[in-house]
Structure 1
Amino acid sequence: MKIKKLWERGSCPILIPTPYPYNHSWLLATMASIILFLLCLTLLLLVLFFFHKHRSNKNPPPPPGPRGLPIIGNLLQLNDSSTFHLQLWKLSKIYGPLFSLQLGLRPCVVVSSPKLAKEILKNHDLVFSGRPSFLGQQKLSYNGIEVIFSPYNEGWREIRKICIVHIFNSKRVSCFSSIRHYEVKQMIKKISRHVSSSTVTNLNELLISLSSTIICRIAFGRSYEDEGTEKSRFHELVNEVQAMFSAFFVSDYIPFMGWIDKLTGMHARLDRIFKEMDKFYQEVIDERLDESKKHRENKDEEVIVDVLLQLKKERSFSIDLTYDHIKAILMDILVAATDTSAATTVWAMTALIKNPRVMKKVQEEIRKLGDNNDFIGEDDIKKLPYLKAVIKETLRLHLPAPLLVSREANEDCIIDGYLIQAKTIVYVNAWAIQRDPEAWKDPEEFYPERFLESSIDFKGQDFELIPFGTGRRICPGLSMAVPTLELIIANLLSSFDWELPQGLEKEDIDFEMLPGITQHKKNHLCLFAKNHF
């Protein structure tokens, strides 16, 4: 617009806009200014981008690993839960003892060597003490208020303290020795009947029943083995719980597709099992509360649920111990202890029947000690170093849980030059670690003698042998599991000689596993027993 001055008498000058012809030079100048501004802005963004990239390049890279597909990542490459540890072991041969995976939208790393296990589980134990949240585990553990699946927090520390101090202390474990002895003697009577009738002994079924009975009597104060429909209900529930712990829920890995779990019925199945188990735990609690009204004077008659109910009554902890806490702890004991003891004993007998030299040697040691005794007690076992070596070798080669319970990084951490970000799931492949040729001579050979002159043990200090885990998350029930395991194996080998059914050779015995957190022998171990005495 062109400005024209108008003067009027007695008035002040004013500016009046008037039309002005279109000015190309002004338009070009304006466009040039805009372009210059955009160029400066682009240059600034490029500088910031390259500066950020330069800083990012200074950070360590993530561990190497197989490339995955968009959204689903590597899920399709790991589709067999029964051989999950083997698939991870094969990948470690390609990508190294520390490699990464993308399971849906969740980043993971896998550890496959003793050196790196020590780095993560000892040197950075606090960083990796978290637990990833999986739907089945959280639901059945009452949102993780117990020991195994709880996140690392003050509540977990208090519950773990309760378990270690009041349930798994040496005095309490000793108090339960009479239960263990009685039930093992009952097992010997059952096998003796098989001998008398020349009947084959299914060790899988026998040992699952035995372990279940021992744990139920120790935890609940009663057995569920000889109660008709009650037996069926109980064992079906335990099997269902095991299945849910290792079940695949889409929502665990791709949350926005969680509706698939509802369509497939997984949500409904999980809810049903939880309600059934909750009802079972409540019946146990009500039964023991009723028993307590009889004023038991003998403290040795107390079982685990009694101890927990008494602690709830005392209210001497920083957390308010509820019935849900008690139920969640009972779940840990029932599921973790029953299956692992049975599976380990079956694997031990499988390894021994395939290695007659070792079988003969361990039986000679046991029988030399028990010449004048038809039962090997827990005090006797302290004098059996080769038996202990056999059990260590079994736990090395055929540990019942090939993968330790998964952990989660609480914060970013650098391991072996690689960056592991917070919220990354960490799988420790104990099966691969315990067969590492750099840690073990002839790792595939069942050779218990390797432990006779070695101080290596499974108590969490030697990272070549970690069947019970290590660090803050080590299995608190170790002190109760080992005496049970030793007692069962010692008396199976002391009382009977074992033979394969006619037509079978030791080469026919396999080590195939069933899927699950605890991996049982897929094909049952069926043997003929002969009385030694």
Structure 2
Amino acid sequence: MRVSPRWRDLRKICNYQLFSTKTLDGSQALRRRKLQNLLDDIERCSETQEAVDIGKVAFKTTINLLSNTFFSADFVHSAEEAGEYKEIVVSILKEVGAPNLSDFFPRLKYFDLQGIRKRSIVSVKKVLNIFKRFVADRLKMREGTGSIGNDDVLDALLNISLDDGKIEMDKDEIEHLLLNIFVAGTDTTTYTLEWAMAELMHNPEIMSKVKKELEQAVGKGIPVQETDIANLPYMQAVIKETFRLHPAVPLLLPRKAEIDVQIGDYIIPKDAQVLVNAWVIGRDPNKWDNPNVFLPERFLDSEIDVKGHHFELIPFGSGRRICPGLPLAIRMLPLMLGSLLNCFNWRLEDGSNAGDLNKEDEYGITLEKSQPVRIVPIKVTK
């Protein structure tokens, strides 16, 4: 969507209704509950020495956090159910990120030669139908009671749609806005946490440093609170290093030139699609020492952050199109990663060693691990 009054309205909704500091501060208790649900699930696995699929449990936590924020209800109720929905989300993102002949030869877009559009529509409809049911049920409830009972994001959006104010939004736009946020939000957080755990399992000395910092700042075996995050610089450095090596969206989201633009010696013609390769930027030897080495220490004495101010590290993009969910992501990732490390020790299943853990990528619009991280939790005693 081009920058327009409509785009600005949608951006305002994200910035001021969904991801504002006030909104996120008011939902801390919800994040604590969802985090505790995650830890309870993992503790049950530790009692039976069952391996945990980090991607599935992270996806379940993230999607239920968003669904409670939006609908006041859990979206999934088991890791198996989460896995099914995760496959749908992954299929959407793989199709969106797949090389498409029609991007290079626009006249071919009507033929859908690769079947990308057909497969995308099938997956999108599965998720969209769920949102349609939530919206329809809420509208029916509001008509029956004549009141707003949940005071959640869906109610806020419905209030906007019924208000005669400056922002116009109909039911279809609400459903598609929620779809975009769900797909983007669950996916990126899940993959970043999965990659962080994979790197720490590969680098046990770094994991030991993180666990030591957590024990000193939080207390052994205690879940991390949002107020603890500022006191965990090494863990924050681990997350930044994960973003550097494994940006969840390696080519960011496509941009389009509105006019002819010259950047250095290059002419970017009007209407050309532009992709920013955050993956390559994060491994540029001109910007980073030992760029292919997982080394969180590089960020300890650095002012570089992930908020779009430093172009050598832009996993969320930059400028006015920066990811609107960034404020939530930078709260959730330290909570989840810190609590997993502080409440449990971890080993690979079946007596494998760290060198056996697969670290290959699988490309879509997001950077997914080709093999899931499955590790066995061992509960830490306080």
TM over 0.5: yes
**Offset at residue 508 of structure 1 (A):** 1.9
Matched, 1:436 2:284: yes
- In 1, the alpha carbon distance for the partners of 2:38 and 2:158 equals 31
Partner of residue 40, structure 2: 189
**Offset at residue 429 of structure 1 (A):** 0.5
- In 2, the alpha carbon distance for the partners of 1:445 and 1:325 equals 44
Give the residue type in structure 1 aligned to 2:44. R
**Offset at residue 228 of structure 1 (A):** 11
Q: Is the 8 A contact 2:260 2:267 kept in 1?
A: yes
Q: Is the 8 A contact 2:195 2:242 kept in 1?
A: yes
Partner of residue 84, structure 1: none
Matched, 1:344 2:192: yes
**Offset at residue 412 of structure 1 (A):** 0.9
**Per-residue CA distance 1:84-117 (angstroms, 9 max, x = gap):** xxxxxxxxxxxxxxxxxxxxxxxxxxxxxxxxxx
- In 2, the alpha carbon distance for the partners of 1:294 and 1:177 equals 29
Which secondary structure state, in structure 2, belongs to the residue aligned with residue 514 of structure 1? strand
Change (3 A) 1:296 1:384: farther
Matched, 1:511 2:359: yes
Give the residue type in structure 1 aligned to 2:223. F
- Structure 1: segments with no counterpart, 5+ residues: 1-149
**Offset at residue 418 of structure 1 (A):** 2.4
Which secondary structure state, in structure 1, belongs to the residue aligned with residue 324 of structure 2? coil
Partner of residue 308, structure 1: 157
Aligned partner (choices 111, 135, 153) of residue 285 of structure 1: 135
Q: Is the 8 A contact 2:362 2:368 kept in 1?
A: yes
Aligned partner (choices 106, 119, 124) of residue 255 of structure 1: 106
**Offset at residue 295 of structure 1 (A):** 6.6
Change (3 A) 1:518 1:232: closer
Aligned partner (choices 16, 23, 26) of residue 175 of structure 1: 26
Change (3 A) 1:486 1:372: closer
Q: Is the 8 A contact 1:167 1:307 kept in 2?
A: no
With 235-244 and 464-473 compared, the bigger mean Cα shift is at 235-244
- Output aligned runs, 1:78-227, within 5 Å: 150-226=1-77
Matched, 1:410 2:261: no
- In 2, the alpha carbon distance for the partners of 1:165 and 1:296 equals 23
**Offset at residue 235 of structure 1 (A):** 5.0
Partner of residue 486, structure 1: 334
Give the residue type in structure 1 aligned to 2:212. E
Q: Is the 8 A contact 1:183 1:210 kept in 2?
A: yes
Which secondary structure state, in structure 2, belongs to the residue aligned with residue 364 of structure 1? helix
- In 1, the alpha carbon distance for the partners of 2:146 and 2:209 equals 50
- In 1, the alpha carbon distance for the partners of 2:80 and 2:52 equals 24
Give the helix-richer structure, 1 or 2: 2
Partner of residue 399, structure 1: 247
Partner of residue 461, structure 1: 309
- In 2, the alpha carbon distance for the partners of 1:168 and 1:401 equals 20
- In 2, the alpha carbon distance for the partners of 1:307 and 1:153 equals 22
**Offset at residue 194 of structure 1 (A):** 1.4
Q: Is the 8 A contact 1:250 1:260 kept in 2?
A: no
Change (3 A) 1:508 1:255: same
Give the residue type in structure 2 aligned to 1:306. D
Change (3 A) 1:170 1:271: same
Partner of residue 176, structure 2: 328
Q: Is the 8 A contact 1:343 1:519 kept in 2?
A: yes
**Offset at residue 265 of structure 1 (A):** 5.0
Aligned partner (choices 188, 200, 225) of residue 377 of structure 1: 225
- In 1, the alpha carbon distance for the partners of 2:64 and 2:244 equals 26
Change (3 A) 1:346 1:372: closer
Change (3 A) 1:461 1:280: same
Which secondary structure state, in structure 1, belongs to the residue aligned with residue 368 of structure 2? coil
Partner of residue 99, structure 1: none
- In 2, the alpha carbon distance for the partners of 1:521 and 1:228 equals 18
Change (3 A) 1:250 1:418: closer
Which secondary structure state, in structure 2, belongs to the residue aligned with residue 520 of structure 1? strand
**Offset at residue 268 of structure 1 (A):** 4.2
- In 1, the alpha carbon distance for the partners of 2:12 and 2:171 equals 17
**Offset at residue 524 of structure 1 (A):** 1.2
Percent identity (aligned)? 33
Partner of residue 353, structure 1: 201
- In 2, the alpha carbon distance for the partners of 1:232 and 1:386 equals 31
- In 2, the alpha carbon distance for the partners of 1:481 and 1:251 equals 33
**TM-score if structure 1 supplies the norm length?**
0.67
Change (3 A) 1:268 1:343: closer
Give the residue type in structure 2 aligned to 1:159. L
**Offset at residue 507 of structure 1 (A):** 1.8
Q: Is the 8 A contact 1:224 1:234 kept in 2?
A: no
Which secondary structure state, in structure 2, belongs to the residue aligned with residue 492 of structure 1? helix
Give the residue type in structure 1 aligned to 2:136. D
- In 1, the alpha carbon distance for the partners of 2:133 and 2:245 equals 39
**Offset at residue 522 of structure 1 (A):** 1.1
- In 2, the alpha carbon distance for the partners of 1:230 and 1:287 equals 22
Q: Is the 8 A contact 1:460 1:468 kept in 2?
A: yes
- Structure 2: segments with no counterpart, 5+ residues: none
Change (3 A) 1:274 1:388: closer
Change (3 A) 1:279 1:430: same
Q: Is the 8 A contact 2:200 2:207 kept in 1?
A: yes
Matched, 1:244 2:95: yes
Which secondary structure state, in structure 1, belongs to the residue aligned with residue 369 of structure 2? coil
Matched, 1:471 2:319: yes
**Offset at residue 479 of structure 1 (A):** 0.5
Which secondary structure state, in structure 2, belongs to the residue aligned with residue 440 of structure 1? coil
Change (3 A) 1:445 1:221: same
**TM-score if structure 2 supplies the norm length?**
0.91
Give the residue type in structure 2 aligned to 1:310. N
Q: Is the 8 A contact 1:514 1:521 kept in 2?
A: yes
**Per-residue CA distance 1:432-487 (angstroms, 9 max, x = gap):** 11111111122112111211111111111111110000011111110111111111
**Offset at residue 221 of structure 1 (A):** 2.1
**Per-residue CA distance 1:119-139 (angstroms, 9 max, x = gap):** xxxxxxxxxxxxxxxxxxxxx
- In 2, the alpha carbon distance for the partners of 1:387 and 1:232 equals 28
Q: Is the 8 A contact 2:95 2:364 kept in 1?
A: no
Q: Is the 8 A contact 2:345 2:380 kept in 1?
A: yes
